[in-house]
Amino acid sequence: MKRLAILAATILLVGCGTATSQGDQSSATPSATVSPSATQATLGESIVFAAASLNKVFPEITGDADINYSFDGSSGLVDQLKGGAPADVFASADQMNMDKAVEAGLIDGEPQMFATNYLVIAVPAGNPANVTGLDTSLDGTKLVVCAAEVPCGAATARITEANGVTLSPVSEESNVTDVLGKVTSGEADAGIVYATDATSAGDKVETFEIPGAKEDPNTYWIALVKDAPDKAAGQAFIDLILSAEGQAKLAGYGFGAPQ
């Protein structure tokens, strides 16, 4: 079993906070330092349930550590935790699903905000359907979005309502990775995804900004699971995500800082 030591004796946390029941409107409260005992713990074989939009950056942050990742829509991960699936850490792409986990008694301690993200419209390279943005150019296209119960879907509903736009998607997916996959494959003419996912697709997609999306981002939260098989390893993982190193890599993938 490979184990990765977290070497820093003191790590500056960036933007931590407590999840409440106020949707995505809460802000994070800055924290000071990580305790020496936490920094000396190793990641071990942590079991991490994380939002699908984190499927590239989290493995980049943890490197060669033996992390057992499960990436999916945040709502589906909460359902798995409710069903008794073992996990050390839960990382949600919105506050609402973290709140659900807290209310269900699944979380140990206070969740902490670690990143933000916002939506864009992604189209296949070349933009064959001639989409021009969140407007009538989407009418009659093969538009794919996230289902309403997952964070990217809830954010889509929120931002389209704010813009006075009604969408007619041909498909609603359970996570943002599936939306992006249908766009990059050409199966969809357009998809509403996180900016970070569009960035990760490189030249396979072109993007259009959505008015107001940057000003109303999704907030990402992380917490220990109450019945974690290895709480020390789980806490070490959380400390790494909140560390200067973890935050720098999140920023490199396009995630915003905690609010």
pLDDT in tens, 166-208: 999 999 999 999 999 999 999 999 999 999 999 999 999 999 9
pLDDT in tens, 50-108: 999 999 999 999 998 989 999 999 999 999 999 999 999 999 999 999 999 999 999 99
In this predicted structure, the answer to whether residue 149 has a pLDDT above a threshold of 80 is yes
Which amino acid is present at 46?
S
Residue 80's region, left for phi above 0, alpha for psi from -120 to 50, else beta, is alpha
The beta-strand segments (E) located in the chain are 47-51, 68-72, 89-92, 107-117, 119-124, 143-146, 171-173, 190-194, 205-209, 218-225
| Residue-level pLDDT at 44 | 82
What are the structural domains, with CATH classification, of the chain? 36-116+220-252 (3.40.190.10), 119-209 (3.40.190.10)
Spell out the residues 6+ positions from residue 153 whose beta carbon is closer than 8 angstroms to its own: 145, 146, 147, 172
> What is the C-alpha to C-alpha distance for residues 145 and 171, in angstroms, rounded to an integer?
7
| Residue 74 is labelled as binding a ligand | yes
DSSP state of 255: P
| Residue-level pLDDT at 104 | 98
Both tokens assigned to 195:
């900016």
pLDDT in tens, 5-23: 333 333 333 333 333 333 3
| Residue-level pLDDT at 256 | 96
| Residue 174 is labelled as binding a ligand | no
- pLDDT > 90 fraction of the chain, expressed in percent and rounded: 81
> Collapsing DSSP states into helix, strand and coil, what is residue 24?
coil
| Residue-level pLDDT at 229 | 96
| Residue 53 is labelled as binding a ligand | yes
| Residue-level pLDDT at 64 | 87
Calculate helix-pair angle for 231-242, 244-252, nearest 10 degrees: 60
**Block residue for tokens 């070490």:** 236
Which pTM was predicted? Answer: 0.81
Both tokens assigned to 39:
């920094």
| Residue-level pLDDT at 15 | 36
* pLDDT tier, 210 (very low <50, low <70, confident <90, very high otherwise): very high
> What is the C-alpha to C-alpha distance for residues 219 and 17, in angstroms, rounded to an integer?
11
| Residue 150 is labelled as binding a ligand | no
Q: Which residues make beta-bridge pairs with 130?
A: none
